Amino acid sequence: MSGVDLKTGALLDQQLALSAYLEALLGETPESVPVESAGPAPAVRLTPDPVPAPVAEEATPVAAPAPGPQALATPVVQANGRPAWARTEFQCLLFQVAGLTLAVPLTALNGVLPLDLDAVTPMPGHSALFLGLIDHLGQQVRVVDTAQVVLPPERLAAAGAAAGRASHLVLIGKGRWGLAASGIGEVVSLHPEDVKWRGSLGTRPWLAGTVIQHMCALLEVEAFLEQLGRGTHGNAMA
């Protein structure tokens, strides 16, 4: 078999593995066994040659959050269980976290920044999920190690330290929270029927559904923020 055939076969195997991983995430219910306990997590691929997407930042700074967890609104859902922002066609920004592609609705996005971890002030006494604080537009942004939220322990251990996989911040929650990302992709338009929606929040309320066409997990940002505000961390969120 030629080198080209081997490379093509390996890429196909990675795509099938990622598809299976996303399906496992989506199919999980509160009573089921978490995906990480079912065996080694499959390998996933980074989206090749991501195209940076220009995202406008908020013009007016928002007041810095209090040190303690904040009360956040309960996510609004339709009668069919889908998020309110998914009634019609919507746009999402794709970004990568340690090999996994995530999609965040533009309605919940407040900007994208380059991330210099040397500029992040550690938060002693806080969960390891939070890398620290960074100043942006006059407010303190809490930097979240997103990989600890979306990856099972096996994949997280293989991903290495945050310093080697965090190059950008995806701002959500009116700019109060920044999701550490390893790469920024393109903006895509999705119809509700393009998404395989999660029927139950299960143990991963941050997961709204999966988009197999783009091999990505779609974030339910309001539920994600609510967990962050409660201080939930680590594998309890993954």
Q: Give the 3-state secondary structure of 90-148.
A: EEEEEEEECCEEEEEEHHHCCEEEECCHHHCECCCCCCCCEEEEEEECCEEEEEECHHH
| For the chain, percent of residues with pLDDT exceeding 70 | 61
At position 181, the amino acid (one-letter code) is: A
Return the structure tokens found at 78. Answer: 């339709």
35: part of which helix (H) or strand (E)? Answer: none
| Domain map (residue ranges) of the chain | 3-236
Q: Around 167, how many Cα atoms within 13 Å sit in the side-chain half-sphere?
A: 11
- Please tell me which residue, 154 or 108, carries the higher pLDDT value: 108
Residue 207 has pLDDT above 70, yes or no: yes
In degrees, rounded to 5, the angle at the alpha carbon of residue 143 between the alpha carbons of residues 137 and 148 is: 160
- Please tell me which residue, 202 or 171, carries the higher pLDDT value: 171
Report the pLDDT value the prediction gives residue 39, as an integer from 0 to 100: 38
- CA 157 – CA 200 distance, rounded (Å): 28
**For the segment 172-204, what is each residue's pLDDT rounded down to a tens digit?**
999 999 999 999 999 999 999 999 998 765 678
User: Nearest-CA neighbor of 195 among 22, 40, 11, 14?
Assistant: 22
- CA 79 – CA 176 distance, rounded (Å): 30
